[in-house]
Amino acid sequence: MNAARYEDLLAMIEELSAADDATERDVRWATQAGVVGLARAHDGKIEIFMRGEPLIAVSATIREVLEHQVWFRRAGLPAVEASRLLLPAAGHYDQIAAFVCTELLRNGADADLATAFRRAEPIIELAIRRLRLSDQVLVGLAGELLLLDALCQRSDSSQVGTVVSGWDGWRESGRDFAVGTVGVEVKATTRATSAHQVQGVHQVELYDGEDGGDPEDMLYLVSIGLIWENREGSFSVPSLVDSIVRRLDDVGTRDAVETFLAHVREYGASSDVGYDHKTMSTDLRFTRAFVPRFVRAYDMTDTQIEVLRSRDIVPHQHVASDSVTFGIELPDRVSGDLNPIWGLHEVAVAILDRVPQGMDAVALPLGRTSGRLNGATVTRNWRSSGSPK
């Protein structure tokens, strides 16, 4: 291929097969010059190889996903010195990879790779940031479905429908889940620790019921660590959706299936990660397998958990409370063996056990805009379209 046409590159990328294992790649070069190449890793991620001396990236975002190595080849062929750009396996990554390669070649990568890379770097940075947002959304969806499935499998038949209806996916809502008077916020990550972003203090404080609905008497922040890996006991977004749909069918709540699938489809749609189970269940972006590294439910009413609260913000009258986002790093242990609760099964059981006997799981009312938390009036920062969990 001598022309750097986007359509040709995209067609080539779509034909790439995933490597058999983590140590091998089948690199296809975009042109006869053999400077820009593409491969699909064993986990489905696209890698762009740029043959030559190390490239210097100005952007910190690109430096994190760019590495230079000497790559060895089979059959006695000489090794190749190249920089590798790894794209997250989420969103429209095939199209992004084709676009990045087109920009590199259009800027003359075959003749002068360093100059072409420098010229294309701002565009590449925008693409990487977009894909990272998509990846975060996919991780969030996987984590919420993992917990929802666990709750469904452990709920009484009479509660399954209301448990599922208590999850609104990407829609604006007060909680990720509400089971009786128990609020549940889910935070998923690919990190090895419970480090998360909090989108407003309402995510770490009890709701007092002032705007309607039952006040909460318990709030769990469920921290889920995921590893994208295919092994025994692994899950995928399609497999979890199938499991939840089967459970709804088994208990005779088929009418709830379409609503549930609609909520799944809406999750992250504005970030190019909308998953339509009816048409995308075999899509490589979503069939990536993962296993939970850890599942921990933190009792956020525990005074030993020291995070920002509304009382910390209210005295600052010139600060819009709904604009406050912050990072948290929760320890493995807060209060001995009591907080957090460890394990997917144990977390689901603990949440359901908090529901008084005979009470159905209920969703909190949608659209609340303000309320009183710990005696202070604050504006709620609900999840909005385009914001990753």
User: Domain check: are 195 and 331 in the same one?
Assistant: yes
How far is CA 333 from each of CA 203, 298, 304, 340, rounded to the nearest angstrom?
20, 9, 10, 6
Q: Same domain for 21 and 154?
A: no
Res 378 pLDDT > 50? no
- ∠ CA 45-46-50, nearest 5°, is 140
Do 246 and 341 lie in a common domain? yes
Average pLDDT, integer, range 259-279: 82
Q: Does residue 133 belong to any structural domain of this protein?
A: no
Q: Which residues pair with 291 in a beta bridge?
A: 227
CA–CA distance, 152 with 79 (Å, rounded to integer): 52
- CATH number where 82 lies: 3.90.1150
| DSSP 8-state assignment for residue 210 | T
| Residue 10: both structure tokens together | 């995209």
The string of pLDDT tens digits covering residues 31-77 is 999 999 999 887 778 899 999 999 999 998 899 889 999 988 777 77
Domain that holds residue 22: 6-111
| Same structural domain, 74 and 197 | no
Residues 203 and 97 in one domain: no
Element (H, E) at 341: strand 341-342
- 145 and 70 share one domain: no
Q: Domain total for the chain?
A: 2
pLDDT digits (tens, 9 = 90+) for 142-169: 999 999 999 999 999 988 988 898 887 7
Query: How many Cα atoms within 13 Å fall on the side-chain side of residue 73?
Result: 10
The closest alpha carbon to 71, from 42, 47, 99, belongs to 47
* 169 and 265 belong to one structural domain: yes
Does residue 357 have a pLDDT over 70?
no
Q: pLDDT: is 208 or 307 the higher one?
A: 307
Residue 166 domain-assigned (yes or no): yes
Mean pLDDT of the chain: 84
pLDDT interval class at 219 (50, 70, 90): very high
Domain match, 65 and 183 both: no
Q: Which of 3 and 129 is assigned the larger pLDDT?
A: 129
Residues 152 and 71 in one domain: no
Q: Do 158 and 106 have their domain in common?
A: no
Element (H, E) at 108: none
Closest by CA to 218, choosing from 341, 135, 108, is 341
The full DSSP string for 246-264 is HHHHHTT-THHHHHHHHHH
